[in-house]
Amino acid sequence: MLGRNVVKGETICYNEIIFYFVMKYTSYKEKEEKFMKKEIKRFLLGGTALLSLLVAGCSKTKTDNETSQVKTTKSSTKKKTPSISEYKTDSKNPGAAFDWNLVGAGLKDYKREFYDIEGKRVIKLTASVLDAVGNLQKTKSEITDSKVLAALKLLDAVYVDQSNIGDLLQAAGVSNQKELYEKIWNEYMIEDITKNHPTFNNDATAELDGVTYPIKVYGPMKLKIYTNSLAQAGAYELLNYKVEGDMVYLKYNAPSMEGDTQVHYSKEQKNNQAFLNKIKEETEKSSGQDYNKNLIMRTIFTLATVQFKGDGSFGVEGSGEFYVSGPYYLAVKVDENGKTSIDLTNLLALIQIHSKSATEANEVKFQKNQ
């Protein structure tokens, strides 16, 4: 068994306790930085297996939920977020073909695609995923409160069927996915990165093979790839819910993105090795010297491993089995007509960019004295 959630009263090893608290609120940004350092070392020195695989193994658990295959979708709403970029990708730029309207592919016939311990691509149907799908369907069928069901549609649009991403876009007050991820970048990522790296410049660019890469253009693309990956979850585990007026509070567990897939994707691109190797070299050169260039190179590497495709995905952790992290706490506003809205704090938690703030705000709703 790869791992499990830490449950109150359960006897666990000392290492599991450490790993649990290390991983509980780890953001994608942190995971990715660890991954690139390990991948560069592997590339330059030969390296060994990624530590992230071991850490993930002590922070996940088997559970339940639902699934569906994915199609492209669009949604519109009156409120729009201004574009944060004045740059336009040109024909030489790999990102020019990035299609923002695509979504992550969900499970097909309930089967998970992953890489085994030998690095071989596997497509497999497992009992744990089927159980998770069935359990989620059963749980939702027993819920009679229409507001709760409306709020759960936002989770479904991320973890079950991203062809329904329009539900999330409308709730977030944006017209399309490009606006969504630019909003997140502009209103959260810039401040968060600057807090940890004061030399960060959102107008920074880096050049590679005659192409200029602006971080403000490619950063939001990377966030989308991470969210695409969650579509392979197929389900989530609803633990509890509360309704207070027009606010619905949800407590749930959910699968997380599989970071190690980047290694396998990069190795499979036989005709693109020169480009990928050059990115790794530039990443190593800029490490500790030029944070902005280093960040851009790491971002470009991530996008290059999925060939700059708008539906690129790394899948979820578990090696085909249903493993989750959490619990996550979410607050969704639902009016009497069933219209949902979600603020930035809860949006970040929903797509697993940053969940600590939402947990601190919403966990109290599920305490015993409430």
Per-residue pLDDT reduced to its tens digit, 175-207 = 999 999 999 999 999 999 999 999 999 999 999
How many angstroms separate the CA atoms of 278 and 300, rounded? Answer: 11
Tokens of 278: 């050059």
Nearest 5°: the CA angle 68, 335, 73 is: 30
Amino acid in position 155? L
How many angstroms separate the CA atoms of 221 and 177, rounded? Answer: 10
Nearest 5°: the CA angle 222, 320, 126 is: 145
**370 — pLDDT class (breaks 50, 70, 90):** low
Q: Kindly provide the residue ranges of all beta strands, DSSP E only, lying in the chain, ordered along the sequence.
A: 61-62, 112-115, 121-124, 205-208, 211-214, 237-244, 247-254, 323-334, 340-341
Q: What is the pLDDT of residues 120-150, one digit of tens each?
A: 899 999 999 999 999 999 999 999 999 999 9
How many angstroms separate the CA atoms of 342 and 37, rounded? Answer: 35
- Give the global pTM: 0.77
